[in-house]
Amino acid sequence: MESTRTSPPLRRRILVTGGAGFLGSHLCDALARAGHDLLCVDNYYTGSKDNIAHLIGQPFFELMRHDVTFPLYVETDEIFNLACPASPIHYQFNPVQTIKTSVHGAINMLGLAKRVRAKILQASTSEVYGDPTVHPQEETYWGNTNPIGLRSCYDEGKRCAETLFFDYHRQHHLKIKVARIFNTYGPRMHPNDGRVVSNFIMQALRNDPITIYGAGSQTRSFCYVDDLIAGLIALMDSPDDVSGPINLGNPDEFTIAELAALIIELTGSRSSLVRKPLPSDDPKQRCPDIARARQALHWEPTVKLRQGLAKTIDYFDEQLKKGGWSAIGTGR
Ligand code: NAD
Ligand code: UDP
């Protein structure tokens, strides 16, 4: 079959929304290494200039403080739309803003892509599967989400964004790419981000009690950030007829109790375990089926949890010794 792939120019103008966040900053690094011109847009809601400080001032890197819920008029060849808080604590802090970021943000970035005929990738999420009744989750599964719960601002916002992407594709023939990202971890997660890997590592390094929500029997599948970024770039660079949605994540599945035990072992911590109530609608099991990514992108993760955690622990340890981080949500 003839491929619809058109060779992209070697050096492209690429917009990364949410570029000062955890994933966005690693994506900017990888795109900079590939020699592209970058425009990083962020409102610093959960991200920070610290994450991209090393890029500021470089001739190929432009930084813009902007909230994607407002229109943006720039020229670009490709858009990676990552802007959105990803940690349950932070996306539930201002749920209305979270939905606006997902939905108005998608409309604004799709409108921009349509005007300049840019290719656009959406950072969607495994949360579109909700508390899944199918395991592992394939892209054909429509999910089991609660439309009115505490997580809905994120889950339903991201589901609506996917709808918008596919409607722009069908109605306006936009080149779209939708990645369903599963739990990803690594250096530059914020220590107060509230997600499980950063919480457990910080608690372990400080010998504080490790907070297990519920029985700890719920599962997640953790992908190291470098693997995930390689998947996002492979998806953006894939032939035009590969729109997704495509699961990107590591299919090795662990219980939260197993994760705690591994982090205690790797840090040599004296932390005890404490139980806290399970947050509402917390998914009981999550594991990606990545057959589609393997086949369409020739992509699969290579970093084992133990290896990735060791690198992440080193990063947190180093930061702690240096005296820490800027506070989250200070707009810097
Ligand atoms: P993050 O919170 O570190 O990064 C999000 C970035 O978006 C931050 O820099 C934040 O300041 C910015 N942002 C938020 N609202 C904005 C707005 N209205 N306008 C402009 N910028 C805004 O989170 P992350 O882990 O880097 O996640 C990045 C993307 O990937 C998100 O869209 C998230 O939903 C998706 N995702 C991440 C994971 C994961 O495990 N890390 C899993 C699934 C999906
Ligand atoms: N969790 C936990 N202790 C913590 C933080 C999270 O037990 O300190 C649990 C949480 O209830 C969930 C899992 O770890 O079952 C992953 O949580 P996270 O917030 O990282 O991401 P989620 O996959 O739920 O969006």
Domain containing 192 — which CATH number?
3.40.50.720
- At 193 the pLDDT is 87
Q: Whose CA is nearest to atom 13 of ligand 1?
A: 83
Place of tokens 């991200």: 47
For the cut 90, the answer to whether the pLDDT of residue 6 exceeds it is: no
For the cut 50, the answer to whether the pLDDT of residue 78 exceeds it is: yes
Taking the CA of residue 216 as reference, the ligand 2 atom at the shortest distance is 7
Write out pLDDT tens, residues 308-322: 999 999 999 998 888
- At 323 the pLDDT is 76
> Residue 69 has which token pair?
């819920």
For the cut 60, the answer to whether the pLDDT of residue 170 exceeds it is: yes
Which residues are within 8 A (CB) of 12 and not within 5 positions of it... i.e. 6 or more apart? 36, 37, 77, 78
23 in Cβ contact with 228 (< 8 Å): yes
Ligand 2 geometric centre to CA of 181 (Å): 15
Name the residue range of residue 134's domain.
13-321
For the cut 90, the answer to whether the pLDDT of residue 4 exceeds it is: no
* Rounded-to-integer distance, Cα 90 and Cα 73, Å: 28
3-state secondary structure of 254: strand
- At 330 the pLDDT is 57
Q: Is the CB of 188 under 6 A from ligand 2?
A: no
Region of residue 331 (left: phi > 0; alpha: psi -120 to 50; beta: else): left
* Rounded-to-integer distance, Cα 129 and Cα 200, Å: 25
Q: Is the CB of 256 under 6 A from ligand 2?
A: yes
Q: Measuring CA to CA, which residue among 121, 83, 86, 82 is closest to residue 233?
A: 121
Could you tell me if residue 67 is inside a domain?
Answer: yes
Long-range residue pairs from 103-106, CB within 8 A, at least 24 positions apart, any chain? 103/157, 103/160, 103/161, 103/164, 104/68, 104/69, 105/17, 105/68, 105/69, 105/81, 105/161, 106/81, 106/160, 106/161, 106/164, 106/165
Q: Whose CA is nearest to atom 22 of ligand 1?
A: 83
Could you tell me if residue 108 is inside a domain?
Answer: yes
pTM over 0.75: yes
* Rounded-to-integer distance, Cα 317 and Cα 198, Å: 12
- At 10 the pLDDT is 80
For the cut 80, the answer to whether the pLDDT of residue 66 exceeds it is: yes
Out of 154, 168, 185, 224, which one is annotated catalytic?
A: 154
Ligand 1 geometric centre to CA of 86 (Å): 5
> Residue 81 has which token pair?
């739309």
> Residue 109 has which token pair?
């970035």
Which residues are within 8 A (CB) of 80 and not within 5 positions of it... i.e. 6 or more apart? 14, 15, 16, 17, 24, 27, 121, 123, 232, 236
Average pLDDT over residues 182-186: 98
Q: Measuring CA to CA, which residue among 84, 87, 77, 64 is closest to residue 31?
A: 77
Q: Measuring CA to CA, which residue among 53, 21, 55 is closest to residue 38?
A: 55
Q: Which ligand is nearest to the CA of 50?
A: 1
Higher-pLDDT residue of 229, 324: 229
Taking the CA of residue 85 as reference, the ligand 1 atom at the shortest distance is 2
Taking the CA of residue 87 as reference, the ligand 1 atom at the shortest distance is 2
DSSP structure class, residue 137: B
Of the chain, the end-to-end C-alpha distance in Å amounts to 50
Ligand 1 geometric centre to CA of 268 (Å): 31
- At 143 the pLDDT is 97
DSSP structure class, residue 193: S
Ligand 1 geometric centre to CA of 214 (Å): 26
Within its chain, how far is the Cα of 191 from the centroid?
Answer: 16
- At 129 the pLDDT is 98
- At 102 the pLDDT is 98
- Establish whether 129 is a catalytic residue: no
Ligand 2 geometric centre to CA of 196 (Å): 5
Q: Is the CB of 88 under 6 A from ligand 2?
A: yes
Q: Is the CB of 208 under 6 A from ligand 2?
A: no
Q: Is the CB of 223 under 6 A from ligand 2?
A: no
Could you tell me if residue 278 is inside a domain?
Answer: yes
Q: Name the domain count of the chain.
A: 1
Region of residue 57 (left: phi > 0; alpha: psi -120 to 50; beta: else): left
Q: Is the CB of 249 under 6 A from ligand 2?
A: no
Which residues are within 8 A (CB) of 52 and not within 5 positions of it... i.e. 6 or more apart? 19, 20, 25, 28, 40, 61, 63
Could you tell me if residue 8 is inside a domain?
Answer: no
Ligand 2 geometric centre to CA of 165 (Å): 28
Q: Whose CA is nearest to atom 11 of ligand 2?
A: 213
Q: Whose CA is nearest to atom 5 of ligand 2?
A: 196
Average pLDDT over residues 88-106: 96
Could you tell me if residue 1 is inside a domain?
Answer: no
Which residues are within 8 A (CB) of 58 and not within 5 positions of it... i.e. 6 or more apart? 32
Could you tell me if residue 315 is inside a domain?
Answer: yes
- Average pLDDT score over the chain: 94
For the cut 80, the answer to whether the pLDDT of residue 245 exceeds it is: yes
Pairing of strands 119-125, 37-42: unpaired
Could you tell me if residue 71 is inside a domain?
Answer: yes
pLDDT band for position 288 (50/70/90)?
A: very high
Ligand 2 geometric centre to CA of 220 (Å): 9
Pocket, ligand 1, Cβ cutoff 6 A = 17-18, 20-24, 42-47, 67-69, 82-86, 101, 105, 123, 125, 181, 183-184
pLDDT band for position 46 (50/70/90)?
A: very high
Average pLDDT over residues 26-33: 98
* Rounded-to-integer distance, Cα 185 and Cα 226, Å: 9
Could you tell me if residue 290 is inside a domain?
Answer: yes
- At 322 the pLDDT is 84
